[in-house]
Amino acid sequence: MGKVLDEIPDDLAAFIRAQHVFFVATAPLARNGHVNLSPKGLDTFRILDPKRVAYADMTGSGNETSAHLAENSRTTLMFCSFDEHPKILRLYGRGCTVLPADPDWKDIAGPFHDRLGLRQTILIDITRVMTSCGFGVPRMQFTEERDLLDEWATKKGKAGLEAYRREKNIRSIDGLITPLGDGH
């Protein structure tokens, strides 16, 4: 059944690389705050070393992850196999948002495609790695990535994306300020 580890071993790194989607969960400290759970894809995830990962965070309708990480840094990532070999992998850790204006942007964002819609990179230091069986997860077949997000970003253009981020990505749904709204 499941294993608990301190870092990502080679076999689980291979499992992560084979997945087409992963999920990011964060929550504010406020008891009545909203827990956020976001699916991610588009080949945006990288393992930097066995205890550190990052993903390219594309412009979206909200920016909950970034707001929650700025407040308390807690996050959980989940990778789930939908093929014939069931497995669930959770990475627990402390994360932060890295913006283009930050000094380590080039080092952290370097592994990612230079996409117009890239608003920030999320960097996570792993504190716990846990596997579980995934026996209850259905089998599904991957057909292709969607190109809609890149098409949307291209139509918006650089100036349009910046305006959109100012309108939609400065505050969380609970009113927390994101790093995009703190003067970066």
Please write the tens of the pLDDT for every residue from 93-152. Answer: 999 999 999 999 999 988 786 788 999 999 999 999 999 999 999 999 999 999 999 999
Question: What is the tens place of the pLDDT at every residue in 119-135?
Answer: 999 999 999 999 999 99
Residue 162's pLDDT is what?
A: 94
Which class for 11: exposed (0-12), middle (13-18), buried (19 or more C-beta within 10 A)? exposed
Residue 111's pLDDT is what?
A: 77
Cβ-Cβ contacts under 8 Å for 109 (sequence gap 6 or more) = 56, 98, 100, 118, 121
Which structural domains are found in the chain, ordered by start?
Answer: 4-137+144-178 (2.30.110.10)
Judge whether residue 154 has pLDDT over 80.
yes
Which class for 169: exposed (0-12), middle (13-18), buried (19 or more C-beta within 10 A)? buried
Residue 127's pLDDT is what?
A: 98
Question: What is the tens place of the pLDDT at every residue in 3-58?
Answer: 999 999 999 999 999 999 999 999 999 999 999 999 999 999 999 999 999 999 99
Instruction: Give me 123's structure tokens.
Output: 């960097």
Q: Distance between CA 26 and CA 168 in Å, rounded?
A: 18
Residue 114's pLDDT is what?
A: 79
